[in-house]
């Protein structure tokens, strides 16, 4: 599992807390902030952005991830997710994050709105048996998909 030193962990939590304050949440009133650490040491943040058409709402983790990818980052080392009650990313975000996990693994840290970390786990614990690029390529080559 990737390791983080305490100063880096603290910077990520602070960045996620700051991002949480920008959440656009007129429907759920549930602010989420995320901060992703890339393999080259950059930090990208995101918040959840709701929409009256609920299905087009985007989670904080994917907001941060899309910002990172759009700036050329392709490998993520860690993500901090800040919510009022320190929960982990949803299933869609777990799948999204796994796509960019450095060496197939990244640290997922859940913290509450006061910055208290409740849990740290590798993404593989949250999404065991994940579907990834290798699965897609194998299926296409073998004609099984």
DSSP H/E element including 112: none
| Partners of 18 in beta bridges | none
User: Residue 111 is encoded by which pair of tokens?
Assistant: 């913290």
- Helices 60-70, 91-99: axis angle to 10 degrees equals 20
Active site includes 114?
no
List strands edge to edge, sheet with 117-122: 43-47, 33-38, 76-82, 107-111, 117-122
The answer to whether residues 116 and 54 touch, using CB atoms and an 8 Å cutoff, is no
User: Residue 140 is encoded by which pair of tokens?
Assistant: 């296409």
- 61, 71, 114, 141: which one is catalytic? 61
The answer to whether residues 63 and 15 touch, using CB atoms and an 8 Å cutoff, is no
Comparing C-alpha atoms, which of 64, 104, 102 is closest to residue 80? Answer: 64
Q: What are the residue numbers of the active site?
A: 61
């Amino acid at each position: 599992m990737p390791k983080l030193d305490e100063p880096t962990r603290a910077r990520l939590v602070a960045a996620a807390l700051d991002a949480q304050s920008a959440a656009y949440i007129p429907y759920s009133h549930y602010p989420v902030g995320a901060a992703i650490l890339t393999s080259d040491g950059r930090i990208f943040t995101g918040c959840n952005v709701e929409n009256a058409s609920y299905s087009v709402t985007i989670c904080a983790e994917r907001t941060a991830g899309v910002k990172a990818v759009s700036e050329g980052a392709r490998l993520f080392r860690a993500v901090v997710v800040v919510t009022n009650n320190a929960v982990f990313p949803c299933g869609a975000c777990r799948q999204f994050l796994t796509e960019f996990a450095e060496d197939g693994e990244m640290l997922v840290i859940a913290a509450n709105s006061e910055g208290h970390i409740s849990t740290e786990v590798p993404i593989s614990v949250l999404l065991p048996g994940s579907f990834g690029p290798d699965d897609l390529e194998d299926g296409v080559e073998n004609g099984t998909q």
